[in-house]
Chain A
């Protein structure tokens, strides 16, 4: 008994997400229309705001960097059969590690402070993922529940630290002093200026390159090493993993440490590249967007980079929209993002059956000719 007909690979990877995205945008357009604005104008504004100028592109890629890190974090856990909802908390605590190194060694040479800051971010993020992983591996506590809880704990911990310990003395808002300049992740427009190219000043920084390197490394690890093989076996079929001598509890802990480490790298972009200090809620929900990015990108690094850029464009275009159209505010932008997540993530299979049918009919006709 074989399953129903399947979509060709290209349709699965490109057409289906595109259909989902289009429907999400159409629905968003409908809401914009209900609010009394022209959907077409809104769409054009979003597009030009995100990709129509150097500034827009810079911001889009800056947002995308965060999503690549968190998307990869979710994907690595997913390949091991784990649903890591805790990228938000891991990114938050990871950022603490990055920030502490930057505060401490901010005036040391960049070649010393930046690698250490990366390492600290990854270590702190991994550490925050360790306990949920251990609880899942040893005690069977469900990782979804524990990682959600750890998001709250991370938020409480960070608030405490920022308000009571790390706050810059004599200041009202809960944030640290600025890092030393050597701990800044070089901005792309500054680097381009050095070779005589002018690019609009944006927070778009070298962390984007690190994110791409991370994506490449994740690809190599998952599909081209024996450890990635064991991780995938464990995620796809835990019984077969035990049979093959793979120890699932080790895979759970290992995959979550890696996942947490990837999420923990968010601070490289957000703190070292943009804020230059640690502040409350600097993650801004990127950990949750990472879930959608990973789903939409089919848990594949290439798909994740593409989806992250799309979401980056949505963020940047959305801010532009809220700025230019008075009837649309910031919340409306969240609604549009929500629709994209809903259609591309949670409801990604809704259009699969109709699309498959179209293909079957099309194939039959071309076979008849």
Chain B
């Protein structure tokens, strides 16, 4: 534990941190001071260098130059265990938990203190109960982690860090998996930690969170710190402009929808996973030309399964999906056949499903469309045409850098997503299924993608959007369906929707109109 020193000494101070990956300067002379007993926000677009910086602090990367001072003392951090020893804890966006271990086992993992577990467990149990009391962090210690809701799993991660005597807690995009209500609970917990004298660094791209919880905020752009503000004296607009480097539109500008005929109808759809558990339970809805329907819900409530079933990747156990007078389920049409019918799909998890990470941009730009005559010349593939088409897409969708031969993973998330979207709308589909349109996408690109989606709607396409970003659903959708536990628990039109109303439905409180 840190002994009592001058409170003016910052808990964490970074001086002149430099990090270069090949030609990219990921961190440029970063200076950062995090006061003790404060929540400090770190905000920036994807690729701004936030993660690199935090990975340096936590010892995953070594800086090329610069110093890290913890509680006023210079710290040599070469590996995560050095960071832990210095009192730094990190909660990753993707939890680092052993799913089939209990909470207690997960907390003790790595600090078992001795060859036999029993003693360590007894000690840990006492310690954890005390922590739980001090910070209002109740978690059932003997529950198996996989059976806990995400919010509690995140709590286990925080407990893990505190158990290792962390004074500085880094949270990387912690609300990505939470409902608005769960996020509020997390923030309450963080305030408590702050009041107890801990320092919290909140890495996020959501302006709302910065405004809600932080005391100070540091903005990064292109590897450098471009501004630091006292949260109370700044505004989301100012922060957004700092992040992007120019004025941005925070709200999506669109005219009211004028939906016409039904293009896709889903009736009583049921989807079961491999274990036979129903993931989608009797879902019915219609998608009309010229409208954007948003599906809101906490991740893991059947949206992914619904989307994949509509795209032909999963087979439903019951129900019908009709498009253009044909029942896609009864005809057992796969993804390829559905594409030719005019059903395009931008998957939720880009890196897992939407692209092949080891392939170039141009190869990824034909994924799923590689059989089209335009990409082939007899039995051979037509390299010149593949390249030309990719260049065209890159130009039309402002994909940067416009280099078709570059590996897809060398592009930022936003540019990858623009290319995937370009690929999917290239064949002029009538219905678009879009999962997490802006996951891992920077603000500048979000604006571009949102405008493009609204333009598609206005051109008479039917769009179904699944997103865990409630703000995005509220901004884009003309009609909102809320999913909870595999069912549609409510339908709200855009002009009646509020975050609170939808948040309650997401948590399982049934809304009007459906039920």
Contact = CB atoms under 8 A, between A and B. Distances in A.
Interface of A: 1-2, 5-6, 220, 224-226, 229-230, 232-233, 236-237, 239-240, 242-247
Contact of A239 (B51, B353, B363, B379): B353
B380 interface: yes
A355 to B, nearest CB: 16
Interface in B440-463: none
Interface of B: 21-22, 24, 26, 51-52, 55, 60-61, 311-313, 334-337, 339, 345, 347, 352-359, 363, 366-368, 370-371, 375-376, 379-381, 383
B375 A245 contact: no
A244 B335 contact: yes
B383 A247 contact: no
B356 A233 contact: yes
B381 A225 contact: yes
Residue among B52, B313, B345, B381 with most chain A CB within 10 A: B381
A101 to B, nearest CB: 27
A2 B352 CA distance: 17
Contacts of A1: 51-52, 55, 60-61
Q: Name the 5 nearest CB pairs between A and B, nearest first.
A: A245-B336, A244-B368, A245-B335, A243-B353, A237-B356
A243 B345 contact: yes
A3 B135 CA distance: 36
Nearest to A364: B64
Contact of B352 (A220, A225, A240): A240
A224 B375 CA distance: 11
Contacts, number: 75
A247 B336 CA distance: 10
B380 A225 contact: yes
22 contacts: A1-B61, A2-B26, A5-B22, A220-B380, A224-B383, A226-B370, A229-B366, A232-B356, A236-B356, A237-B352, A237-B353, A237-B356, A237-B357, A239-B352, A240-B354, A242-B313, A243-B311, A243-B354, A244-B368, A245-B334, A246-B336, A247-B334
B380 A229 contact: no
A5 B380 contact: no
B381 A226 contact: yes
B70 to A, nearest CB: 22
A236 B359 contact: yes
B90 to A, nearest CB: 12
A5 B363 CA distance: 24
Contacts of A242: 313, 335
B406 to A, nearest CB: 14
B356 A245 contact: no
Nearest to B380: A224
A8 B383 CA distance: 25
B488 to A, nearest CB: 24
A347 to B, nearest CB: 22
Contacts of B366: 229
Contacts of A245: 312, 334-337, 339, 368
B368 to A, nearest CB: 4
Contact of B375 (A5, A6, A226, A237): A226
A232 B337 CA distance: 21
Contacts of B312: 245
A116 B359 CA distance: 38
Nearest to A226: B370
Given A225-B381, A240-B353, A243-B313, A233 B367 contact: yes
A236 B353 CA distance: 11
Contacts of B22: 5-6
Contact of B381 (A229, A237, A239): A229
Nearest to B347: A243
B381 A243 contact: no
B453 to A, nearest CB: 20
A158 B383 CA distance: 45
A242 B383 CA distance: 23
Contacts of A226: 370-371, 375-376, 381
Nearest to B311: A243
Contacts of A244: 335-336, 367-368, 370
Given A5-B21, A226-B381, 19 more contacts: A1-B61, A2-B21, A2-B52, A5-B22, A6-B22, A220-B380, A224-B381, A229-B370, A230-B370, A233-B356, A236-B359, A240-B352, A240-B353, A242-B313, A243-B367, A244-B368, A244-B370, A245-B337, A247-B334
Contacts of A5: 21-22
A97 B118 CA distance: 64
B379 A225 contact: yes
A18 B52 CA distance: 34
A2 B52 CA distance: 8
Residue in A242, A244, A247 whose Cβ sees the most chain B Cβ within 10 Å: A244
Nearest to A229: B370
B381 A240 contact: no
B335 A243 contact: yes
Contacts of A243: 311, 313, 335, 345, 347, 353-354, 367-368
Contacts of B354: 240, 243
Contacts of A236: 356-359
Contacts of B355: 240
Contacts of B52: 1-2
Q: Which of B52, B336, B356, B371 has the most CB of A within 10 A?
A: B356
A243 B312 CA distance: 8
Nearest to B409: A2
Which of A6, A243, A246 counts the most B-chain CB atoms under 10 A from its CB?
Answer: A243
A236 B352 CA distance: 11
Given A1-B51, A1-B52, A245-B336, A240 B380 contact: no
